[in-house]
Structure 1
Amino acid sequence: MIRVTHRIAIAEDELTEDFIRSSGPGGQNVNKVETAVQLRFNARLSPNLPDAVRARLERLAGHRLTQDGVIIITAQRFRTRERNREDALERLLELIREAAIPPPPPRRPTRPTLASKKRRLEGKAKRADVKKGRGRQPTD
Structure 2
Amino acid sequence: MIGKFAGRYSDDRRVLHDSQSCAKRCRVDQWHKVDGNALASIFAWAQHHLDQDLAIDLLASRAGMSRRTFIRRLEEATGMSPGDWLTQARVSRARELLEATQLPIEGIAVETGFGSAEALRHHFRQRIGTSPMRYRAAFQLPARAGAENC
TM-score by length of 1: 0.21
Q: Which has the higher contact order (CA 8 A, sep 6+)?
A: 1
Greater fraction of residues in helix: 2
Bigger Rg, which one: 1
TM-score by length of 2: 0.21
Greater fraction of residues in strand: 1
